[in-house]
Amino acid sequence: MFDPTLAAFRFGFGLPLPQEAPQSQAQMLAALDQPDAMAQSFTGPTTAVLAPLRAEAQKAERDTRRTRDSANRAEAKAAAELWRKLSRDLAKSGAQAAKSMLARAVETPDGLRERLVWFWANHFSTTAPDRRTLAVPMTLIDEAIRPHLTAPFAQMLTAATLHPAMLDYLDQSRSIGPHSRRGSRNAKGLNENLARELLELHTMGAGSGYAQTDVQELAELLTGLTTGPGGMEFDPDRAEPGAERVLGRTYGSDAPADLGPIRAFLADIATRPETARFVTGKLAVHFLGPTLGTKAAPDLARVWVATGGNLKAVVTALIQSPHAWTAGAENIRRPAEFLVAACRALGLSGAQVARMGDGPFQRLLLQPMEKMGQPFGGPPGPDGWTEDPAYWITPQGMTTRILWATLVPGRLVQPLPDPATVMARALGPRASAALIWAVPRADSPRQAVGLIFAAPEFNRR
Amino acid sequence: MDRRHFLSGLTTLACSAAAHPLTTTVTFAADDSGQTLGEHRLVVIILRGALDGLDLLRPRFDPDLTRWRPDLAGRGVSLSDGYDLNPNLAALPDLWHRQELAFVQATSTPYRQARSHFVGQDILEAGSGLDVPDLALRDGWLNRFLQAFPGLGSETAYAIGGQMALMQGPAPVRNWSPGLRLDVSASLQRLLDHVAHDDPLFREATTTALTLTKDLGPLRMAEREAGNEVAAAINLADFAAGRLRGASRIAAFSLAGWDTHRGQAAAIRAPMRQLEQMILRLKTGLGAEIWGKTVVMAITEFGRMVQQNGSGGTDHGTGGTALLAGGALRGGKVFGPWPGLSEADLYDRRDLMPTSDVRLWAAWALRGLYGIDRGVIESKVFPGLEMGTDPGLLRG
């Protein structure tokens, strides 16, 4: 049975629900077929802009190092200035990306779309190469994930695997077929990183039956993929010649290498039953929690197999599963979700978030998010942020949430709304008896709001 | 670059979390039951940014030193055998003479590829034997060590000042930043307790946070002075010492600031002073008896180029230096063979040639302090490492 509060917590960024929010399962699903309004309202970085900017900045950095001891002071100064300017531009693109990410989630009436984006972003995690390039992971999200939320999984998998952010992050851009033209010249070799993670994290899952030889053959199949100033490139000079045999099938031939065999492999693996099981298990546990998710997952896997990995069909099965509407909130809102939900409860609009000055945005949202354990720019590894509640709700994690809850809301919204209103907006019927008892007993509105955002029922979803 | 975010790392994959949603909760109760590690203490300090080992411990006996780095090879504090200690560590020779200070020269992880801080630190903390990050090894070597002692309380090991990859993994560890304080009024504290009471995960996290904050006492004046890095280092060491006097046996934290590409003589002063103060404060904070059972290991992702660059600094290199301190040490000496500084002796004709694997020294420290089986170290903690013969790091 559709329950707006359950929908808001489980499939969105919490209450309050805006006027135009879906009122039924069917409306939730129909919203996914609408144009991506949030991506249009709050634009993100694009590879087309970012890749050349990064290449230019790298060149400027090299020029600065090269000329810093040269006698030509004017040349050295110009190089250093250009490097500084390009670094600033890059840093700005990072802040812009973070603002757009949060603004979209704060503003959207269609929480399911945004939450699906965040789920897949975590599934295809990449990490910014450094603090100046924090926008890079978001280019993958906007270019490879957002357009394919309701497509066959093969499309999203292909777009994510071939995306320059992924190719750089998992070292594919350094991998060279040992017998390729470049490999035999330089004695450089294969890098198995992307091949291994593609099997272990993106598709079949660890221990699902592939062998080291599959990893190695896949790594050979993927050679040729690399990146350049324009983004993804296919360099036949790096491609290992001949056919490769992965998971019992042969890809490629002695013909000149191209992307064809790689695409064919991705299409095959996207529909394998191991992939269906592993990915739907993750999806169901993410949205429903371990208990209900484990119960719902087998149905989703069946739909995946039956539809060749059609993500619209799989999400429909998730939303229509009876387990999706059974009470429970085992998962923890990750720090970014926590902040978005708090902003919504405080009545902030997406536009207000997007318009924040860089300084306040860093101090009030981005740095706290990092201190709560989730730095913008990506998780520490390709396996993304964990779902494990104990990872997030540690003494340190709890302290940073409580500190934010008591110190920041009054600086985000002036005057701070009445605590009773905040409680109703944030939690609706979910407010516990303990919280309802405690809120009026706080010494100040600031502390009362702190209690609301620190309460377990606000932090679980 | 700083990719070592405040709380990085991962504990369990989503799928295993799904199987055991609430079983890894950190509790105080667990500390009182079950196994302990005995009485020895280990402190691991990760020196982030690549410490210049040749500047820390200057091998002035080698005639090539001043040729490669005329501005960075001046007299420091004389130790013995022709080694000078960096002049910013003037308070440490006393430990050397008590055999409570030692160094490992020309040591490194197996990382040889691209001299990237991030990859180098990943490899240092994962403790893998490869020169590329081993993505199958998703936990840190200290966590794998703890995994060999099932039933240890979570307070046995502390990552201080933010989570560290070194400590991450399935074995429970504590994380805390001494700068973090939950300064809330007694009344708010009671209300927070009340609100979290019915959710065990939140109740324990909140109670522990409030208890830790109380343990720390009022904010020290030194900490309030903005930008006082030495004070921050002292706070970190004091917090570590406090925990290690109690139920904790292992502590790890980071000290950054070693990436001295320019004006190294000046740039290295602050981190050196921090390192010095950390070691001295650990010693006083632990007290003579516990210090006598302690080893401190300061290790870095790689060394720096032998030749100074055109800006009075040094660029990324390979072989580096580890610093060891503690009363359990058989110190007053430099471990590891000296590879030499003539151009033919260098790695890639530019870097100090590593003559030992840094994991070896950590392995022997773990074995000496906790009696862990050699086979477990070689297969689990540092897979594939061959420990060879006992280098005699510790007092008998």
So what's the pLDDT on residue A165? 96
Helices A419-427, A335-345: inter-axial angle, 10-degree rounding:
120
Determine the Cα–Cα distance for residues B5 and A456; give it in Å rounded to an integer.
26
Q: What is the mean pLDDT of residues A152-173?
A: 96
Contact A381, A196 (CB under 8 A): no
Q: In whole angstroms, give the CA distance from residue B348 to residue B345.
A: 9
Whether residue B27 is predicted with pLDDT greater than 50 in this model: the reply is no
Q: Mean pLDDT across the stretch B357-380?
A: 96
Give the SS3 label for residue B265: helix
**Distance from A59 to chain B by nearest Cα, in Å?**
18
Distance between CA atoms of residues A326 and A10, nearest Å? 11
What span, in angstroms and rounded, lies between the C-alpha atoms of A136 and A123? 16
pLDDT digits (tens, 9 = 90+) for B253-298: 999 889 888 889 999 999 999 999 999 999 999 999 999 999 999 9
Q: At B321, phi and psi to the nearest 5?
A: -130, 140
Q: What are the structural domain ranges in chain A? A: 167-270, 335-459
Q: Which residue of B has its CA nearest to A196?
A: B135
Cα distance between residue A71 and residue A67, in whole Å: 8
Give me the mean pLDDT over the B8-35 stretch: 31
Q: How far apart are CA A183 and CA A175, in angstroms?
A: 9
| Average pLDDT of chain B, as a whole number | 84
Residue B216 confidence (pLDDT): 58
A176, A179, A215, A314 from A187: Cα distances, Å: 9, 9, 21, 46
| Selected residue of B113, B202, B261 to mutate for chain A interface (largest A Cβ count, 10 A) | B202
Q: Given pLDDT bands bounded at 50, 70 and 90, which one contains residue A393?
A: very high
Contact residues, A window 336-365, toward B, CB-based 8 Å cutoff: none
* Chain B CB within 8 Å of residue A442 CB: yes
- Is A289 an 8 Å CB contact of chain B? yes
Whether the CB-CB separation of A292 and A313 falls below 8 Å is answered with no
Residue B195 to residue A432, Cβ atoms within 8 A: yes
Residue B327 Cα distances to B141, B331, B333, angstroms: 23, 9, 14
> Can you state the angle between helices A445-454 and B186-196, rounded to 10 degrees?
30
Among residues B347, B329, B268, B341, the alpha carbon closest in space to that of B300 is found at B268
Give residue B226's pLDDT band: very low, low, confident or very high (50, 70, 90): very low
In terms of Cα–Cα distance, which of A350, A355, A288 is closest to A317?
A288
Residues contacting B116, CB < 8 A, separation 6+: none
CATH no. of B40-179+234-381: 3.40.720
Q: Look at residue A349 in the predicted model and tell me its pLDDT.
A: 96
Q: What are the tens digits of pLDDT across the range A49-68? A: 999 999 999 999 999 988 88
pLDDT at B274: 93
Indicate the SS3 state at residue B336.
coil
Interface A:B, Cβ pairs < 8 A: 185
Q: Which residue in B192, B194, B212 has the most chain A C-beta atoms within 10 A of its own C-beta, making it the best mutation to test that interface?
A: B192
Distance CA A404, CA B142 (A): 32
| Chain-chain contact of B135 with A289 (C-beta, under 8 angstroms) | no
Specify the pLDDT at position B225: 41
Are B188 and A451 an interchain contact pair (Cβ–Cβ within 8 Å)? yes
Angle at A430 between CA A426 and CA A435, to 5 degrees: 80
Say whether pLDDT at B61 is over 50: yes
How much is the mean pLDDT over chain A? 94
